[in-house]
Copies of this chain bind each other. A is one copy, B any other.
Amino acid sequence: MKATINDVAKQAGVSIKTVSRVMNNEPSVRQPTRDKVMEAVKELNYKPNLAARNLAGTKAYSIAFIYDNPNAYYVIDMQNGILSACKKQGFELLIHPCNSNSEGILDEITNMVKHSRIAGLVLTPPFSEMPEFVKHILALEVDVVRIMSGDNAPDDLAPCIMVNDHQASMSITQHLIDLGHTSIGFIAGQSEHMSTVERLRGYKQALKDNHLEIDQRLIIDGEYSFESGVQGAKQLMSGEVRPTAIFSCNDEIAAGALFASRLMGVSVPEQLSITGFENSPFSRQTWPRLTTANQPNPKIAEGAANLLIAKARKQAPNNITTEYTPQLVVRDSTSQKVKEQ
């Protein structure tokens, strides 16, 4: 039934250890030997037993994905990206949803790391943006890759995959400005998330670049939720300064803003333009479909996982920073500002 390393060794006429070397891509194996082994591997459909590897060796063959995020689309995208990297490299994925605010969270993760041999962790916000947390994890001697918002790494604790929200927000805001909008509302996500900070920074930058005034009354605190979008839009549309466009920090907020507009009888995009951020599937399923910024989550996640795997194999330098910039996707929720109605 299932072939073991022994079977392969016999079949290839070499020692067990040589097969092991080949399977681990170790250098000192002559090419002909390597070929013989690989042939046997193929013939017998051999795959190293993960349990045995874990038990015998000191290397790790799993990576863990720690997250605290209610956004199903985001999580699935990240997960698929990581999974795809893992599958290609014979790694295993441990999923660990958890609550970043819970008291025992540090112990929880520590325990998990101590009890499973783990090559590294993929950290997304908010975990990736908590330096103390990252330090604590690193002290456990596990690698970490952080996916976070910004245009360059805040420190060199661990490799970062940066999402240039600043740049992307400028594009969105510029798009709105190009359509003639000068009074643009902003509904924020949680202010503890770097992405919120960066998106706000990009928004402000674009206004500045176009010599438009930044009006604090147009900037609404919120969180990354539909409900927050509803509230934020209501507040904006009933405030003293009524914007003609709303920059929402993510698609859910935008969907909420859309909902509120309906509620208030404001038509989108005729009377009000609304933008989202993330390009999640439902940004295509609202009415009108959302103008947004596409965040290539699966690609980001796959990159993160690959980095971790490379580090586990000692074939990665320590502090690479990769950067992705979400691209503007124009759909139907934004349009030319009309003159006074």
User: Interface residues, chain A, CB within 8 Å of chain B?
Assistant: 1-2, 45, 47, 49-52, 54-55, 72-73, 75-76, 79-80, 83, 92-95, 97, 111, 114-117, 226, 252, 255-256, 258-259, 262, 281-282, 284-287
Closest to A1 in B: B114
The complex places the Cα of A72 from the Cα of B93 at a distance, in Å, of 18
The complex places the Cα of A49 from the Cα of B54 at a distance, in Å, of 10
Chain A to chain B contacts (Cβ below 8 Å), 7 pairs:
A45-B111, A51-B51, A55-B55, A76-B76, A93-B95, A259-B285, A286-B286
Of the candidates B50, B114, B287, the one whose C-beta lies within 8 Å of that of A262 is: B287
The complex places the Cα of A281 from the Cα of B251 at a distance, in Å, of 14
Q: Are B287 and A258 interface neighbours, CB within 8 A?
A: yes
The complex places the Cα of A287 from the Cα of B230 at a distance, in Å, of 12
Nearest CB of chain B from residue A8's CB, rounded to whole Å = 14
- Of the listed residues A51, A54, A252, the one surrounded by the most CB atoms of chain B closer than 10 A to its CB is A51
Q: Which residues of B contact A72 (CB under 8 A)?
A: 72-73, 75-76, 281
Q: Are A51 and B117 interface neighbours, CB within 8 A?
A: yes
Q: Is the interface of A mostly helix, strand, loop or mixed?
A: helix
Check A95/B114 contact, CB under 8 A, given A51-B54, A76-B76, A285-B252: no
Nearest CB of chain B from residue A205's CB, rounded to whole Å = 30
The complex places the Cα of A115 from the Cα of B87 at a distance, in Å, of 13
The complex places the Cα of A80 from the Cα of B111 at a distance, in Å, of 20
The complex places the Cα of A252 from the Cα of B54 at a distance, in Å, of 43
Q: Which residues of B contact A55 (CB under 8 A)?
A: 49, 51-52, 55
- Of the listed residues A55, A73, A83, A93, the one surrounded by the most CB atoms of chain B closer than 10 A to its CB is A55
Nearest CB of chain B from residue A254's CB, rounded to whole Å = 10
The complex places the Cα of A95 from the Cα of B258 at a distance, in Å, of 35
Q: Are A255 and B285 interface neighbours, CB within 8 A?
A: yes
Closest to A92 in B: B94
Nearest CB of chain B from residue A60's CB, rounded to whole Å = 11
Of the candidates B97, B115, B285, the one whose C-beta lies within 8 Å of that of A2 is: B115
Q: Which residues of B contact A255 (CB under 8 A)?
A: 282, 285
Nearest CB of chain B from residue A137's CB, rounded to whole Å = 16
The complex places the Cα of A187 from the Cα of B79 at a distance, in Å, of 32
The complex places the Cα of A275 from the Cα of B116 at a distance, in Å, of 46
Closest to A117 in B: B51
Q: Are A287 and B287 interface neighbours, CB within 8 A?
A: yes
The complex places the Cα of A255 from the Cα of B54 at a distance, in Å, of 47
Closest to A115 in B: B47
Closest to A251 in B: B285
Q: Which residues of B contact A97 (CB under 8 A)?
A: 80, 83
The complex places the Cα of A83 from the Cα of B96 at a distance, in Å, of 9
Q: Are A259 and B282 interface neighbours, CB within 8 A?
A: no
Q: Which residues of B contact A83 (CB under 8 A)?
A: 95, 97
Check A50/B47 contact, CB under 8 A, given A76-B75, A83-B95: no
Nearest CB of chain B from residue A264's CB, rounded to whole Å = 12
Q: Which residues of B contact A49 (CB under 8 A)?
A: 55, 115
The complex places the Cα of A259 from the Cα of B258 at a distance, in Å, of 13
